[in-house]
Structure 1
Amino acid sequence: MIACTKCGKVETIVKSGFVRGKQRLYCKDCELYFSVNPPNPSTNKKPHQTTIVDIAKTLGISPSTVSRALNNSQEINENTRNEVIRVANELDYRPNLLAQSLHRGETHTIGVVIPDIQRPFFAGVVAGIQKVASEAGYRVMICQSNESHNTETLNVQALMASRVDGLLISHTKETNSFEHIKLHLRKGIPIVHFDRVCDELETAKVIQEDFEGSFALVEHLIKQGCRRIAACAGPEDLLISQKRLNGYKAALQKYDLPIETDLIFHSSFKKEDSLNALNNWLELSQRPDGIFTVHYANAIEMIMSLKQKGIKIPDEIALAAFGDDLLASMIEPSLTVYNQFPFTVGQEAATILIDNIINKEIFVPFTKVIKGELIVRQSSNKI
């Protein structure tokens, strides 16, 4: 407590602003104005995050004055503004970005939901998203669904509760109900799908050449002399698996090769699935001489198993797969792939979403197809 320098009373003292960095006080009994040095904020820091109210109390002014000073209002004189800034720095004041954003009706944050961050494809997509978002002044909140529909739904709810301006999503292999997306579409939230999309939803979509890429891979195997080509497909109800399997079938039909059901295996992308498929094919009376997989990691697992079994690649069995990774080029023999360019997928998805956020009222959903590239390596190069 501060006592009057004249009468010594404490209860009659009130704050009255400040002059040249010193707290100005007024004694109502003596009608005396006097100044003292303000308390050092750094010696009395509160354990909670500093607010505008804390600054106002320290200086003996109103919170609205502090707010206007921090926002460089012309209504506040320069001395007051400088003193507010000084105390704000000493109290380690940080603006509440969420509160400011909500006041403006936007957060400059986009949400991203992916099935598996450990897969290099999705890591590449996220890198592309982050680059575009950062350059546009947006923050990114990333959630992993871990291939669980329930987790995906909870992720979407959490992101919406955080008031993201828009959502980028690639669905899990379990997802066959999209009510959690429809709910927010009806509210006008900009949403863009990538990779694993849903055709029943009116959203912008970024996809790869699933059909074309698979067709190119299988056609390449055929031109290398393969006539019995097995396919390790993904889950039957996953849209990209269906498209890639259709590309496989179309290539066989083009070259009048039979589509044999015992050469088609649906997997969940897990290692045990790919190895079970391989072992089943090797037990057939007539083994396949080529293998196509919709996920490159499964092909790498098969290559390692075939090498252990002493089966020559590509002489006895050639392999080609959808998707690329550094490991695919480093293993021996290196794997023939169809590169999806995940970084580009992420860039395009983020660009479209931000455009949707900015031009929400006039935005018309469309589908962007990212062109891929057939990369021929040792695993299939017979000729």
Structure 2
Amino acid sequence: MKKNKATIHDIAEKLNITASTVSRALNDNPRISDATKKKVLKIAKQINYQPNHIASALRSGKSRLVGVIVPTANRNFFSSVIRGIEDIANNLNYKIIISQSYDEFEKEVQNVEALLNARVDGVIASIGKTTENVEHFQKILEKGIPLVLFDRISNELEVSQVVIDDHLGAYQTVDHLIKSGCKRIIHFTSNQRINIYKERKRGYEDALVDNGIAVDPKLIFDCNMQLEGGRQVMQGILDQKIKFDAVFSSSDYSIMGAMQVLKEKGFKIPEDIKLAGFGNEPFTSFTEPSITTVDQKSVPMGQITAETFFEILNSDGNNVMGKKTILKPELIIRDSSL
């Protein structure tokens, strides 16, 4: 027989008080004495009471839960953003529910449905690479629930957004490579519907032009931004015998793959080829040579995203339309480009 789940009525019966008193004690209501709160918490622990957030949300209109959708949580960037979001949410007595889309559109749609069914008070999201239709996010807004986007955003949604200046980060990186003597700089990019790749490519091109170097489309390569993708693209470049003296990738992972292939083929870095990535993943400082990259200010991004979210949540449920916060990136110059 399945054991019945403990309820506030069980706690009330053991303490000979009302269920409403138990509920107020569990929610730290100032009208309830500290002594009663301690007794309630003690019994709750003894009988393994677990609050029903959905039922609570239905009663109060607030679940104190925030849904967070990321492409993947095992990347340092996204895990650090989540940490920043939690810093703010936990201080306000809110908890977050993390969902991963794995850059799959259908999975992202399912995540939105699941979070709405969980009665979250709002959603914070970074859009997946394959997402072209944003109707599932529009559904959140139609329900009057706050939505804030970070990093990978969509201009089709009138919502608040928090990003870094991807154009500036790319521009500074390519400008640094040019000033280090490079003239034929390969660029790894990805789906141009994704704002971060579009802006980083634009920064790459503008830096070339401003330094008097013509943009050569033959030096721009599409990549899935994974380590293996970087390896495959670099192998193809070498097979085609394309002349180049540097590589700037929109991802640290793909530049790591490129570096592996170059070293296997006997190239010296940075003497023969200079390399730079984007993201400041932890491994970039441990490789040999260490990799020049762009720090995306991930923890501050998470904190500002959460602050923006709670500003909206506490503003009578009205979304702050079009509020866009742009953080300044930091170019970290390391051995791979010196």
TM-score of the aligned structures, taking structure 1 as reference length: 0.79
Question: Which residue is equivalent to 2:315?
Answer: 359
The alignment status of 1:372 with 2:325, answered yes or no, reads no
Higher mean alpha-carbon deviation, 329-338 vs 96-105, is at 96-105
CA contact (8 A) 2:235 2:261 kept: no
| Structure 2 Cα separation of the partners of residues 252 and 86 of structure 1 | 66
Give the alignment partner of residue 141 of structure 2, picking from 181, 185, 189: 185
| Structure 1 Cα separation of the partners of residues 75 and 12 of structure 2 | 51
Give the alignment partner of residue 195 of structure 2, picking from 213, 225, 239: 239
1:354 partner amino acid = F
How does 1:105-124 map onto structure 2 within 5 Å?
A: 105-124=61-80
CA contact (8 A) 2:162 2:301 kept: yes
CA contact (8 A) 2:228 2:257 kept: no
Question: Which residue is equivalent to 1:344?
Answer: 300
Distance 1:279 1:104, change over 3 A: same
Distance 1:162 1:260, change over 3 A: same
Unaligned runs of 5+ in 2: none
Question: Which residue is equivalent to 1:29?
Answer: none
| Structure 2 Cα separation of the partners of residues 85 and 241 of structure 1 | 50
Give the alignment partner of residue 176 of structure 1, picking from 107, 124, 132: 132
How does 1:209-288 map onto structure 2 within 5 Å?
A: 209-288=165-244
CA drift of 1:280 comes to 2.6
| Structure 2 Cα separation of the partners of residues 85 and 247 of structure 1 | 56
CA drift of 1:81 comes to 11
1:357 partner amino acid = L
Give the alignment partner of residue 110 of structure 2, picking from 145, 154, 162: 154
- How many residue pairs end up in the alignment? 328
How does 1:1-383 map onto structure 2 within 5 Å?
A: 47-54=3-10, 66-70=18-22, 71=24, 91=47, 93-361=49-317, 363-365=319-321, 366-381=323-338
Higher mean alpha-carbon deviation, 263-272 vs 46-55, is at 46-55
CA drift of 1:96 comes to 3.6
CA contact (8 A) 1:109 1:165 kept: yes
- Aligned-partner SS, 1:322: coil
CA drift of 1:67 comes to 1.7
Runs of 4+ with >4 A deviation: 52-59, 80-95
1:102 partner amino acid = L
| Structure 2 Cα separation of the partners of residues 142 and 239 of structure 1 | 23
CA drift of 1:251 comes to 0.7
1:372 partner amino acid = P
What RMSD, in angstroms, separates the aligned Cα atoms of the two structures? 2.8
CA contact (8 A) 1:190 1:360 kept: no
CA drift of 1:50 comes to 2.3
Deviations 1:283-319 (A, max 9, x none): 3445210100000111112112211111011111101
Distance 1:135 1:87, change over 3 A: closer
Deviations 1:124-145 (A, max 9, x none): 1111111111111110000000
Distance 1:48 1:271, change over 3 A: same
CA contact (8 A) 2:248 2:277 kept: yes
CA contact (8 A) 1:69 1:84 kept: no
| Structure 2 Cα separation of the partners of residues 226 and 82 of structure 1 | 67
Unaligned runs of 5+ in 1: 1-44
Q: Which structure exhibits the higher relative contact order, with contacts defined as CA atoms closer than 8 Å and separated by 6 or more residues?
A: 2
Distance 1:155 1:212, change over 3 A: same
CA contact (8 A) 2:85 2:303 kept: yes
